[in-house]
Amino acid sequence: MSAPLADAPSLAATLEWLSQPPLPDAAADLAALDQLRTALRTLALTGQERLQALNRIAARTFVTLNHALPQLSDLPLPLPRKSRALARILLDLSAGLAEDFRALATSPDAAAQLAPQRAQICQRTLLLLRTHLEIAGLAATPPSHDVWTNLHAAYDAAEREGLADSAGSRGEHTARQEYAQALLLGLIPAGALSTSAFALACRISGALTEQLEFLPSPDERRRGLFWIDPSRDAPPVALTRRPPPPETPVRWVAGDRAARRLIQLSASGQAAQLGFAGANGTLLVQQNQPTLEQLAGLWGSPSKRRFPRRRQNYRAQLCIGLPATWALLAGKVPADGSGEHVSNWMITNESPDGYAAMHLSGRTEPVRPGEVVAIKGEKSHRWDVALVRWVISENPEHLELGLQLAAPRALASRAIDPKLGRSSETPALFLPGVPGLRPMPALIVPAGTLDETSQRLMVVLEPADNAKADILETRPSSRLESTPAVTVLQLAGDDRAA
């Protein structure tokens, strides 16, 4: 059944169409809802009639959204075209509906007759804007124009009218909670989490809205301090990354308490208080400890940029993923970059410890934050190893990566637990110590294979040119980092056994 749009749209026809079951195809149903929303603007309606129609469209949108979200919540980037189209219509519809609710709230003609529903209108506006930010995060694409300024303005209006702590209806978040959840998502740097990790963050942030602190003034003893300029169409900015411009009125929020609460609840297995009910929820929290630790770090200890960045414009080759990087460094594929897993990129900015790279040509493996890559500049003969810190993809042809250098030199190796023998053999990258940076050697292994509790390891370095293999006897001394893809272990020493 097509939407009642083309000839003579009316309120009755709109409500009748909305009473039908959703269309089987989620994208088609959402596109029809967006057409309905646009047509509704042309109708001469009372405030109550317009609110009724908008509420029905919003309710139907969330029904379809809940069925469509699994299509977006566990995908590498860039998204397939069908998923990208679904994300695009969701972004358009959520932003458009929020704009229509906000216009209704500010309409002088509807002000008197909608006075009893003003709390609901404020809450719906913020709910839709927060949903928009969730979809943008899942798609690793920027939110629509003015979404952040509209979010701040909608919350300020709710505050002025004393409606910030009123829920739209029973069981729903208040306007303040919707705003706090949106800000918690905004504390996460763009593209820093995989789609599955960001989906977890969306759920967890909804359970921790009361833990975000709104501060009257900055307390610089805090690590998780962020500033917001409500006049800028931008998310909160970590003070550790950049101070606010002088003379600019800003508001302050702190994510420290939310980070501590997240660590406390996840460590004690209280999954229900993080929004995950039942045994499956407990298992999900246990399986995603590295992601939860990363999220807590983003909220409570945002990293400070160690070095200034310089704009660049030179070509490089990338090999994405631990298996492909291992094969490249082990000499199993051509080292000149002609293999099928090597693609061409443009370095757009650079610092001593990292790069931003934009894809130009060649096959790209599915990529998520936390993956290992090998990178070689056009004038270099050496493959460096880096970790993907963020991924942004505005369309299927566009892919940008933020890379942090892990080592200027890495060796393909195999890690073996002597107690288990060859059955425990794990492909790994051995990172020799670097004076002044990381004096002790380190090992990159697939996530979930080895950890810092291993008492003893044999690390077999892949030989070059049929030379004799080097075997190191060592043990992990600490875990430097965990991502959904890899674990980075610091090694206690480099004792050659052969």
Tens of pLDDT, residue by residue over 140-192, are: 899 999 999 999 999 999 999 999 998 766 778 999 999 999 999 999 999 99
Confidence check: pLDDT of 5 > 90: no
- Alpha carbons 242 and 230: distance in angstroms, whole number: 16
Split at pLDDT 50, 70, 90, the class of 135 is: very high
Computed over its alpha carbons, how large is the radius of gyration of the chain? Answer: 26
Structure tokens at 108: 């002088």
- Alpha carbons 366 and 484: distance in angstroms, whole number: 14
CATH T-level topology, domain 411-496: Thrombin, subunit H (2.40.10)
- Measured from the Cβ of residue 71, the count of other Cβ atoms closer than 10 Å reads 17
Q: Scanning the structure block, which residue is given the tokens 């229900």?
A: 272
In percent, the amount of the chain with pLDDT more than 70 equals: 94
Which regions of the chain carry the CATH code 2.40.10.220? 310-407
Give just the sign of the alpha carbon dihedral 304, 308, 314, 317.
Answer: negative
Confidence check: pLDDT of 378 > 50: yes
Interacting residues of 158 by C-beta distance below 8 A, sequence separation 6+: 119, 122, 123, 126, 164, 175, 176, 179
Confidence check: pLDDT of 32 > 70: yes
Structure tokens at 340: 């099928």
What is the reported pLDDT for 396?
67
- Burial of residue 137 (CB within 10 Å: 0-12, 13-18, 19+) is buried
- Alpha carbons 45 and 60: distance in angstroms, whole number: 20
Confidence check: pLDDT of 496 > 70: no
Tens digits of residue pLDDT in 345-367: 999 999 988 999 999 998 887 88
Confidence check: pLDDT of 421 > 90: no
Q: Scanning the structure block, which residue is given the tokens 């978040």?
A: 173
CATH T-level topology, domain 310-407: Thrombin, subunit H (2.40.10)
Beta strands in 284-399 (DSSP E): 310-320, 342-351, 354-361, 372-377, 384-392
Q: What is the mean pLDDT of the chain?
A: 89
Confidence check: pLDDT of 53 > 60: yes
Q: What phi and psi values does residue 115 have, to the nearest 5 degrees?
A: -55, -45
Tens digits of residue pLDDT in 254-300: 999 999 999 999 888 788 888 887 777 788 888 888 889 999 999 99
Percentages of the chain per state (helix, strand, coil), in multiples of 5? 40, 25, 40
Q: Which residue has the higher pLDDT, 36 or 434?
A: 36
